[in-house]
Amino acid sequence: MPFEIIRNDITKLKVDAIVNAANSSLQMGGGVCGAIFAAAGADKLQKACDKIGGCETGQAVITKGYGLPARFVIHAVGPVWRGGADNEAALLYACYENSLKLAQKHKCESIAFPLISSGIYGYPKDQALRVAVTAIGDFLLKNDMAVSLVVFDKAAYALSEKLYFSIKAFIDDHYADAHYISRRRDEESRLLRTLSPFEDAEKKKAAPPHVSARGVGRKMASLAPQRKLEDVLERLDESFSERLLRMIDEKGRMDTEVYKRANIDRRVFSRIRSNKDYRPSKNTALAFAIALELSLDDTRDLLMKAGFALSRSNKQDVIVEYFIGMGNYNIFEINEALFAFDQGLLGA
């Protein structure tokens, strides 16, 4: 996947480069920085950093990965939080941007970031996350690279409080309703099964044979014109791939723009374009609906072509519906919210 948010130990990832949240003197520190130095081999990595000398805030430098699974370590110096009026956001954005450009220069195809400046530098986690998602998303709309944003645990991750509670309220209103209806149906079904044999027999006795729904159904089926299975199969509706490609053309979009906005790898899109019978996962189909900025009705239609449906019994679907209703089709922000609510991310 081009961009994903994961819970993991960044020192164990098999990627081309990992990013170290460094200090300007490039000395071994604590937290993520200390863990990276220890896993790489502190003496070797420190020697390489000392040779470089230092790095300014917002900039990035690169060394070998030494004992790490990653080939490179990119050392990015984030800003210290001073209340938000000291150009912190621009400097933090530059950290991600410069790290990505440096990785690209060294022909890296994959890179993993920690949430820079959100530790001892005091940058509020929700704001640090917003800058990270924006900077990475902006880069991926113009470039190809697999990017992971790594958090150690859920406590290290936070949506903005306003957005979190807005989404939670929407889920409570819609997801809960769907489950209430489902529970009512289950209760009604159980009630029907508890009817006494006498009541059941009386109902059967009272219903004349000619009004039996099953009997009527069989009679109607016998009167209906018979069609061969081969004839039915020859009249299939357009497939998911055909519908998707038609929608791309109708909206005047370029393929590259669409698969990037869908957080889809170009190789996956190539398979979709070359195979009219391609069957995507639901997350892939939803990602394309977001990329094409489809309405809820058109989203349901595209999903149906892939054999899926939007359900209010599915929390992921409710969250996606929330963003479509808000007119927010930024897939990176949607994935940010899905991750916060422990749901699968969109893309492939």
Does a structural domain hold residue 282?
yes
- For residue 2, pLDDT beyond 90: no
Q: Look up the domain containing 130 and give its range.
A: 3-158
In a domain, 280, yes or no: yes
Give the model confidence (pLDDT) of 82-103 as tens digits: 999 999 999 999 999 999 999 9
The DSSP H or E segment spanning 162 is helix 161-193
286 in the same domain as 169: yes
Residue 80: Cβ-neighbour burial (10 angstroms; 0-12, 13-18, 19+): middle
Judging by DSSP bridges, how do beta strands 3-7 and 17-22 pair with one another?
unpaired
d(CA 184, CA 206) in angstroms, rounded, equals: 28
- Tell me, yes or no, whether 194 lies in a domain: no
pLDDT-derived band at 191, boundaries 50, 70, 90: low
pLDDT digits 0-9 by tens, 155-178: 445 566 666 667 777 777 777 655
Q: Does 339 reside within a domain?
A: yes
Are 260 and 131 part of one and the same domain? no
Q: Is 169 part of any domain?
A: yes
Positive or negative torsion for Cα 79, 84, 89, 91? negative
> Which of 92, 125, 158 lies at the terminal end of a domain, its last residue?
158
- The model's pLDDT over 4-38, given as tens digits with 9 standing for 90+, comes to 988 889 999 999 999 999 999 999 988 889 999 99
Is the confidence at residue 245, as pLDDT, over 50?
yes
Residues 104 and 19 in one domain: yes
Predicted pLDDT at 195: 53
- Domain's final residue, options 125, 158, 191: 158
* Residue 205 belongs to a domain: no
| 117 and 8 belong to one structural domain | yes
Q: Which long-range contacts (CB under 8 A, 24 or more apart) does 229-236 make?
A: none
Nearest-CA neighbor of 279 among 260, 305, 301, 261?
305
Same domain, 146 and 175: no
User: What would the pLDDT profile of 127-150 be if each residue is shown by its tens digit?
Assistant: 898 899 999 999 999 999 999 998
Closest CA to 246 of 313, 296, 192, 305: 305
Give the domain-ending residue among 158, 192, 208: 158
Same domain, 78 and 151: yes
How many domains does the structure of the chain reveal? 2
The CATH number assigned to the domain holding 99 equals 3.40.220.10
Give the pLDDT confidence score for residue 315 in this predicted structure: 92
Query: Could you tell me the pTM of the whole model?
Result: 0.76
The predicted-structure confidence for 199-219, as pLDDT tens digits, reads as follows 555 555 555 555 555 555 555
Q: What is the pLDDT of residues 292-339, one digit of tens each?
A: 999 999 999 999 999 999 988 899 999 999 999 999 999 999 998 888
Answer yes or no: is 91 within a domain: yes
Classify residue 131 by burial, with Cβ atoms within 10 Å: 0-12, 13-18, 19+: buried
For residue 196, is pLDDT > 80?
Answer: no
Tokens of 146: 């697999």
Residues 150 and 243 in one domain: no
Are 172 and 154 part of one and the same domain?
A: no
Q: Are residues 252 and 275 in the same domain?
A: yes
Same domain? 66 vs 175: no
Same domain, 134 and 248: no
3-state DSSP call for residue 336?
helix
pLDDT band at 227 (very low <50, low <70, confident <90, very high): low
Same domain flag for 305 and 168: yes
Q: Is residue 197 situated within a structural domain?
A: no
- 9-23, 69-83, 149-163, 181-195, range with the lowest pLDDT: 181-195
Of all residues in the chain, the percent with pLDDT exceeding 90 is 61
13 contacts 148 by C-beta, under 8 angstroms: yes
Q: pLDDT tens digits, residue range 268-297?
A: 999 999 999 999 999 999 999 999 999 999
